[in-house]
Homo-oligomer: A and B are copies of this chain.
Amino acid sequence: MKPDVERRYVITLSCPDRTGIVARIAGFLAAAGGWIVEAGYHSQVPSHSDPDTGWFFTRQVVRADSLPFDVDELRARFAEVAAELGGEATWTVADTGVRKRAVLLVSKEPHCLHDLLGRVAAGELPVRLEAVIGNHETLADIVRAHGVPFHHIPFPAPDDPHRKAGRLEAFDKIRALVEGHDPDAIVLARFMQVLPAHLCEEWVGRAINIHHSFLPSFAGARPYHQAYARGVKLIGATCHYVTSDLDAGPIIEQDVIRVDHGDTTGDMVRRGRDIERLVLSRGLRWHLEDRVLVHGNKTVVFR
């Protein structure tokens, strides 16, 4: 059996830093015979304003067959360990034997959707696509060709007199569809409607957006046009958690590509897609593999 595809338990924990945390966790796992195949640690250096307050983060991957108990028992026992580390500790235990679930939100732009469908079909992303929801029908056919349900939830036109109410109604329908799947990830794959604040809160830590600029530059609308106007020599994309503060949530991943004076905004749109695809798929993978720990408005990513 290939060692890299076997069943594993993935533990994450973050808490205020102090001496002995690693020993406590490692000791717990060793006592149970746990075989650690990946271990990431990060101690955030305390700030100068408050030098006594550092923060500790870890991600541990254990071979399931090395433990004499199942994942529920692991959770119960690890809860005791975490409790010793103080009330501020947050932790998760995931089981790679249970496939994660995602729902995608799309509009008309096809490239991120095509890319994710292709990666799932190729077995590259550890996720089951439960459904794709679009405010346009443009992308329905390709989604269904991949055997994934597509739901069309139209949004009111910009000049609709009842636009505000219509939007909330549409988002209520989306919310109901999404909740029905209880997804681990809600991916805004170039979805061109701004989520209302209450959904941002409800989906905090699960809603992932791809923005087509190297944030914080060029937030908001038409970032490639902004980039063209400023004459930058690189354009980028940013994958981040959605918060009610537009394009300002915790950044998971970013990348850039070189452009020059010969690139029109049309060229930037086209070439930027290559970066959007890569950055979204990397960010989503890390999220699904429990590699991303959010702290304040920043992320620790154990790659």
- Contact between B233 and A251 (Cβ–Cβ < 8 Å)? yes
- Contact between A264 and B29 (Cβ–Cβ < 8 Å)? no
Interface residues of A in 252-297 (CB under 8 A from B): 253-256, 260-262, 264, 266-267, 270, 273-274, 278, 281, 297
- Contact between B110 and A261 (Cβ–Cβ < 8 Å)? no
Instruction: Among A3, A40, A253, A297, find the residue whose CB has the most chain B CB atoms closer than 10 A.
Output: A3
Residues of chain B lying within 8 A (CB to CB) of residue A115: 115, 118
Residues of chain B lying within 8 A (CB to CB) of residue A122: 110-111, 114, 273
The answer for the CA separation of A2 and B46 in the assembled complex, in Å, is 10
Q: Number of A residues contacting the other chain (C-beta, 8 Å)?
A: 79
- Contact between A214 and B216 (Cβ–Cβ < 8 Å)? no
The answer for the CA separation of A46 and B264 in the assembled complex, in Å, is 10
The answer for the CA separation of A22 and B37 in the assembled complex, in Å, is 11
Interface residues of A in 175-230 (CB under 8 A from B): 214-218, 230
- Contact between A299 and B35 (Cβ–Cβ < 8 Å)? no
Q: A-side interface residues toward B, CB under 8 Å?
A: 2-5, 19-20, 22-24, 26-27, 29-31, 33-46, 48, 51, 57, 66, 110-111, 114-115, 117-119, 121-122, 124, 142, 145-146, 214-218, 230-234, 236, 250-251, 253-256, 260-262, 264, 266-267, 270, 273-274, 278, 281, 297-301, 303
